[in-house]
């Protein structure tokens, strides 16, 4: 009886937690089906939950610099994929690939990063 109750409670917790766990992973605001790539200079990084951000100064053809907010995964995910909080530092030149915001806002869900030395990391 005790075991049954424990299993039931565990099951209910999973049911309750599932939507919350998925909510912050939502990429519906981003155009993931048409990936784009931006190269730029890192101006800062936010090593935060639920998702970290890299802010990239991207120069266009005319030399105009625009800041892009590159949303990357959680610090936990990143650590399991070869990152530390100092893998990307201000001044680094990196390349981000992912889905840009459908709204046209200068933000992207960046799913892979190429570091200055050519190392590719999932993000
Ligand atoms: Cu997430």
Quick check: 109 and 27 in contact, CB under 8 A? Answer: yes
- Quick check: is 56 in a domain? yes
Residue 62: is its pLDDT beyond 60?
Answer: yes
Q: Is residue 31 part of a domain?
A: no
> Phi first, then psi: what are they for 79, rounded to 5°?
-60, -40
How many angstroms does the Cα of residue 40 sit away from the middle of ligand 1? 24
In the block, tokens 């424990």 appear at 6
pLDDT averaged over the chain?
90
Structural domain harbouring 79: 36-122
Domains of the chain: total: 1
Q: Is residue 2 part of a domain?
A: no
Q: How far apart are the first and last CA of the chain?
A: 44
Ion ligand 1, residues whose Cβ is below 5 A away: 24-25, 50
24 found inside a domain: no
At which residue do the structure tokens 């399991």 appear?
80
Cα of 38 from ligand 1 centre, angstroms: 21
Tell me, what's the pLDDT at 26?
85
* CATH for 89: 2.40.50.1010
Ligand 1 geometric centre to CA of 23 (Å): 8
Q: Which residues partner with 57 through β-bridges?
A: 41, 67
Residues 85-119 have pLDDT tens digits of: 999 999 999 999 999 999 999 999 999 999 999 99
Tell me the CA–centroid distance for residue 65 and ligand 1, in Å.
29
Q: Kindly state whether residue 10 falls inside one of the protein's structural domains.
A: no
């Amino acid at each position: 009886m005790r075991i049954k109750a424990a299993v039931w409670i565990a099951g209910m917790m999973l049911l309750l937690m599932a939507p919350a766990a998925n909510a912050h992973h939502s990429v519906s605001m981003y155009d993931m089906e048409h990936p784009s790539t931006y190269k730029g200079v890192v101006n800062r990084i936010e090593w935060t939950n639920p998702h970290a951000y890299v802010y990239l100064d991207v120069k266009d053809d005319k030399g105009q610099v625009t800041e892009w907010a590159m949303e990357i995964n959680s610090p936990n995910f990143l650590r399991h994929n070869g990152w530390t909080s100092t893998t990307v530092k201000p001044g680094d030149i990196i390349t981000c690939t992912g889905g840009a915001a459908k709204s046209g806002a200068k933000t992207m869900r960046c799913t892979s990063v190429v570091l200055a030395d050519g190392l590719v990391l999932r993000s």
